[in-house]
Amino acid sequence: MASIHRSGSRPQLDLSKAAIEGNFEEKDPTILLPNQSDDLSHLALDIGGSLIKLVYFSRHEGQSIDDKRKKTLKERLGISNGTRRSYPILGGRLHFVKFETTKINECLDFIYSKQLHRGGMDSRLWNAEAPANENAVIKATGGGAFKFTDLFKERLGVSLDKEDEMNCLVAGANFLLKAIRHEAFTHIEGQKEFVQIDHNDLFPYLLVNIGSGVSMIKVDGDGKFQRVSGTNVGGGTYWGLGRLLTKCKSFDELLELSQRGDNRTIDMLVGDIYGGMDYSKIGLSASTIASSFGKAISDTKELEDYSPEDISLSLLRMISYNIGQIAYLNALRFGLKRIFFGGFFIRGHAYTMDTISFAVHFWSKGDAQAMFLRHEGFLGALGAFMSYEKHGLDDLMVHQLVERFPMGAPYTGGKIHGPPLGDLNEKISWMEKFVLKGTEITAPVPMAPPPGTTGLGGFEVPSSKGGTLRSDASALNVGVLHLVPTLEVFPLLADPKTYEPNTIDLADHNELEYWFTVLSGHLPDLVDKAVASEGGTDDAKRRGDAFARAFSAHLARLIEDPAAYGKLGLANLLELREECLREFQFHDAYRSIKQRENEASLAVLADLFAELDSMSEETRLLTLIEGVLAANIFDWGSRACVDLYHKGTIIEIYRMSRNKMQRPWRVDDFDLFKDRMLGSGDKKPQPHKRALLFVDNSGADVVLGMLPLARELLRRGTEVVLVANSLPALNDVTAMELPDIVAEAAKHCDILRRAAEAGSLLVDAMINRSDSSKENSSSVPLMVVENGCGSPCIDLRQVSSELAAAAKDADLLVITNINLRQMERMHVTVTRAFDDDVQIILEGMGRALHTNYNARFKCDALKLAMVKNQRLAEKLIKGSIYDCVCRYEPAS
């Protein structure tokens, strides 16, 4: 049993002149260490025989915008620094890069040009020519850490601090399995399926590392493991024997050969021995391999008489089956439920994974399953990184990590040739060259559904045999890991463990093809908008082209391997598009459209308020909900709606949409909602203490739809929190934009004005009003919080700390959180009284249909949307385009 040794090779923190930033009362204030150099862990290496793997950290260069809303909100909601600790690593990115060991000079150039060896996280800002720190040390594992010590000292002036390889593998695997949601997967007959692993039920497991030789490690916990077995028949055996027998020049070439092979020409099968019959008494079919290479004993044939393809396949199956069998026997020996395979032998090759899975399945008679890891190539390097002190990675939770796939990550993905891409300009040039080289990154071509099983039984050829092998497959599966300590799980989810944000399963190939075609179709128009938003300059055009290429490349990659970036849902695709726009510095493609629509809608708002105020309470509530649904038609992400906008002005379309609102809607729980709000009979229900309104689009949607609804709730004495995007996505309104819109709307309405003042939204207005505090005391506040995302959809497992705080506001608690936790620990069923006091309203197709349509909440939830896509309408509500959804679910 070994335990992880954490050597203290890094400098200690310099605490002199330490000062607390901001409010001393905060629970976890940020501590400034002005004299602490940034000389902290940020690069680790795993130098293997064929590949060098790098894991490095870069600090997130977030812009600090002076957001008045945030300051007052922090005080109001009592938000401290969230779960942020004073670890240096938090709030940055982890990058995964690899090089071929034969090209170690490229690797050294890469480290040098990024100044990763200087130890300073912001070192690029420093003088690149400044002498390197004499004592600089980089953690490294793998045989090359010994072999290349002098080279690193000579070229970069750094020492390599060697970490035990086995320690690193286990530390890397443990981190990934705990921190990354879609890390482990099964791979059977060409089908990748992600496995959700309960973090509390991860240990023990068997880690099988197939390098040149094979190690089998029983892992019992962090730093607790034991090498229980191994075999000398491994990747080296396949490559070594294969090279001798086939004259192949590379490992990948040998694997590729195996795909075209037929092992029956070399292997002796059960049928060969039993005259074509099964040996059914002991459960062996005629096609089972009885003896690998058994037919080669024939003295009439020489090596030249066998095809290299057949030899490679026989060899691959012999070795994979043998490893699979030994792994299973060891799992059995220690009663282990899970077997994870990794190591350079696998390298993301579909066929190798299928072969191993087949073997484990065969020998365990289906009891055990082989699993693989998306970052398997980086276990060692990640483990070496983890061995630095005070990196803070151990404490990160799944919801604080976001994996993104910028260009350069999926395409170079470690296969970096030449200097790294320094800035956007270089990236664009590189993309242009990339296209010229003829690399396939054109618009996606829908592919045929994956083939079915062979149905032959025994050790037949796995069905992924064929065109699915990519020698660089694993390199493409690893993105950049953003560490965002402020993200939290939305506290009102009924069951976060079973929560699945996506409604539509893109594992269904027809669905996948449809949405890919839709998104490809949107591209030209989107590029036009994006370029126009940046003034239509030549630079913007160039960036627009690069964006279109990049996004098409992602789509092409994903249609080929939908699980390449983890489990794929529609929400991920829509977010990927927004991220890709940002990557090419299009920060708000719909800016002018949003402004125009806001102005047009604000101009008629006073009339709408007057109209509403003349109605009875019941009619008003219905009109308000109709208004929200009708105004949701303003959606620049829907093909059909964009076509519609050519047919009339904003107000004309809005009126047309409102006039068409006929109940019953396709999904219509309005009466249930009305009863909760207004009561039935004489009983007047208690209004909700607080409502969280997840708003969607700018213009009529928010101004004529959601704001009047918010006003009604405020009038009833319910505090309103408007929840909006942190970053722009299509024409969605952002949290930064909302206070100004509310301020404009408040000019027409006292209820909104008082509530906005009470919620400190009208900061400027308050300065001029000495009597505001008196009025505030009698008003419930209206607040705006950001949701933590920049997408048309929302994954409620990862929301901003301010949204989480707004959802669990302390003064709504009947009993304190501490008591509650204690009681829960004692298995006392506790009804959280405050959850009944909160209501959430999700609006729009992205937030209420594509995601969260089936989400269950601890509080009352209303989901409102107009379906602006024919196919979705048919599939989800058996209706048609422009049908409406009003789904009301009381607290569960």
DSSP 643-700: HHHTTS-HHHHHHHHHHT--SSPSEE-HHHHHHHHH-STT--PPPPSEEEEE--BTTH
With CB under 5 to 8 Å by kind, the binding choice for 626 among Mn ion, ligand PAZ, none is: none
Q: Report, in Å, the least distance between residue 403 CB and Mn ion.
A: 24
Distance CA 840, CA 168 (A): 45
**Pair of tokens at residue 27:** 């629970």
With CB under 5 to 8 Å by kind, the binding choice for 869 among Mn ion, ligand PAZ, none is: ligand PAZ
Nearest to ligand PAZ of 637, 788 (CB atom):
637
Nearest to Mn ion of 187, 847 (CB atom):
847
Q: Report, in Å, the least distance between residue 873 CB and Mn ion.
A: 17
Q: Report, in Å, the least distance between residue 851 CB and Mn ion.
A: 12
Q: Report, in Å, the least distance between residue 794 CB and Mn ion.
A: 11
Distance CA 643, CA 630 (A): 17
**Pair of tokens at residue 312:** 């490679």
**Pair of tokens at residue 635:** 């959606």
Let me know: does 385 contact 54? Beta carbons within 8 Å.
no
Chain residues binding ligand PAZ by CB under 6 A are 518, 574, 632, 635, 637-640, 696-697, 730, 792, 844-846, 850, 865, 868-869
Q: Report, in Å, the least distance between residue 780 CB and ligand PAZ.
A: 28
Nearest to ligand PAZ of 52, 628 (CB atom):
628
Q: Report, in Å, the least distance between residue 796 CB and ligand PAZ.
A: 15
The answer for residues whose C-beta is within 8 angstroms of residue 218's C-beta and 6 or more apart is 204, 205, 206, 207, 225, 226, 228, 330, 334, 336
Q: In the window 132-161, what residues touch Mn ion (CB under 5 A)?
A: none
Nearest to ligand PAZ of 322, 870 (CB atom):
870
Q: Segment near Mn ion (CB under 5 A), from 59-67, 99-107, 642-650, 789-797?
A: 789-797
Nearest to ligand PAZ of 483, 848 (CB atom):
848
Q: Assign residue 818 a region: left if phi > 0, alpha if psi is -120 to 50, beta otherwise?
A: alpha
Distance CA 312, CA 252 (A): 11
Nearest to ligand PAZ of 160, 793 (CB atom):
793
Nearest to Mn ion of 728, 792 (CB atom):
792
Is residue 588 within the footprint of Mn ion (CB under 5 A)? no
Nearest to ligand PAZ of 321, 514 (CB atom):
514
Nearest to Mn ion of 73, 849 (CB atom):
849
Is residue 697 within the footprint of Mn ion (CB under 5 A)? yes
The strand order across the sheet containing 782-786 reads 667-668, 884-889, 860-866, 838-843, 690-694, 719-724, 782-786
With CB under 5 to 8 Å by kind, the binding choice for 376 among ligand PAZ, Mn ion, none is: none
With CB under 5 to 8 Å by kind, the binding choice for 192 among Mn ion, ligand PAZ, none is: none
Q: Report, in Å, the least distance between residue 793 CB and ligand PAZ.
A: 7
Question: Considering Cα of 579, then 580, then 583, then 588, what sign does the dihedral take?
Answer: negative
The answer for residues whose C-beta is within 8 angstroms of residue 791's C-beta and 6 or more apart is 571, 574, 575, 578, 725, 729, 846
Q: In the window 826-845, what residues touch Mn ion (CB under 5 A)?
A: 844
Q: Report, in Å, the least distance between residue 208 CB and Mn ion.
A: 46
Residue least distant from ligand PAZ (Cβ): 637
Q: Report, in Å, the least distance between residue 730 CB and ligand PAZ.
A: 6
Q: Report, in Å, the least distance between residue 635 CB and Mn ion.
A: 6
With CB under 5 to 8 Å by kind, the binding choice for 806 among Mn ion, ligand PAZ, none is: none
Task: Give me the helix-helix angle, 591-613 and 617-631, nearest 10°.
Answer: 160
Q: In the window 263-322, what residues touch Mn ion (CB under 5 A)?
A: none
Is residue 36 within the footprint of Mn ion (CB under 5 A)? no
Residue environment code for 488-500, b if the CB has 16+ CB neighbours within 10 A, otherwise e: bbbbbbbeeeebe
Nearest to Mn ion of 468, 697 (CB atom):
697
Distance of CA 14 to the CA centre of its chain: 36
User: CA-CA distances (angstroms) from residue 756 to 69, 638, 749, 759, 769?
Assistant: 11, 32, 11, 5, 13
Distance of CA 356 to the CA centre of its chain: 28
Instruction: Tell me the chain's radius of gyration from C-alpha atoms.
Output: 30
Count of residues near Mn ion by CB under 5 A: 5
Q: Report, in Å, the least distance between residue 479 CB and ligand PAZ.
A: 22
With CB under 5 to 8 Å by kind, the binding choice for 610 among Mn ion, ligand PAZ, none is: none
**Interior CA angle at 305 toward 302 and 306, to 5°?**
105
Nearest to ligand PAZ of 346, 693 (CB atom):
693
Q: Segment near Mn ion (CB under 5 A), from 254-262, 410-418, 599-607, 786-794?
A: 786-794
Q: Report, in Å, the least distance between residue 697 CB and Mn ion.
A: 4
Q: Segment near Mn ion (CB under 5 A), from 353-361, 396-404, 600-608, 731-739?
A: 731-739
Let me know: does 658 contact 630? Beta carbons within 8 Å.
yes
With CB under 5 to 8 Å by kind, the binding choice for 118 among Mn ion, ligand PAZ, none is: none
Q: Report, in Å, the least distance between residue 602 CB and ligand PAZ.
A: 19
With CB under 5 to 8 Å by kind, the binding choice for 757 among ligand PAZ, Mn ion, none is: none
Distance CA 79, CA 23 (A): 11
Nearest to ligand PAZ of 431, 884 (CB atom):
884
With CB under 5 to 8 Å by kind, the binding choice for 98 among ligand PAZ, Mn ion, none is: none
Nearest to ligand PAZ of 266, 873 (CB atom):
873
Is residue 696 within the footprint of Mn ion (CB under 5 A)? yes
Which residue, 127, 126, 129, 23, is CA-closest to 79?
23
* 631 residue type, one letter: A
With CB under 5 to 8 Å by kind, the binding choice for 447 among ligand PAZ, Mn ion, none is: none
Phi, psi of 534 (to 5 degrees): -110, 25
With CB under 5 to 8 Å by kind, the binding choice for 518 among ligand PAZ, Mn ion, none is: ligand PAZ
Nearest to ligand PAZ of 87, 645 (CB atom):
645
Q: Report, in Å, the least distance between residue 844 CB and Mn ion.
A: 5
Nearest to ligand PAZ of 100, 508 (CB atom):
508
Is residue 732 within the footprint of Mn ion (CB under 5 A)? yes
Residue 348 DSSP one-character state: T
Let me know: does 772 contact 766? Beta carbons within 8 Å.
yes
Q: Report, in Å, the least distance between residue 881 CB and ligand PAZ.
A: 8
**Pair of tokens at residue 517:** 């075609």
User: CA-CA distances (angstroms) from residue 150 to 56, 136, 158?
Assistant: 21, 14, 9
The answer for residues whose C-beta is within 8 angstroms of residue 320's C-beta and 6 or more apart is 352, 355, 356, 359
Q: Segment near Mn ion (CB under 5 A), from 490-498, 536-544, 788-796, 803-811?
A: 788-796
Q: Report, in Å, the least distance between residue 789 CB and Mn ion.
A: 12
Nearest to Mn ion of 48, 844 (CB atom):
844
Pairing, β 339-342 against β 205-210: parallel
- Residue 870: exposure state from Cβ atoms within 10 A (0-12, 13-18, ≥19): middle
With CB under 5 to 8 Å by kind, the binding choice for 639 among ligand PAZ, Mn ion, none is: ligand PAZ
Which parts of this chain interact with Mn ion (CB under 5 A)?
696-697, 732, 792, 844
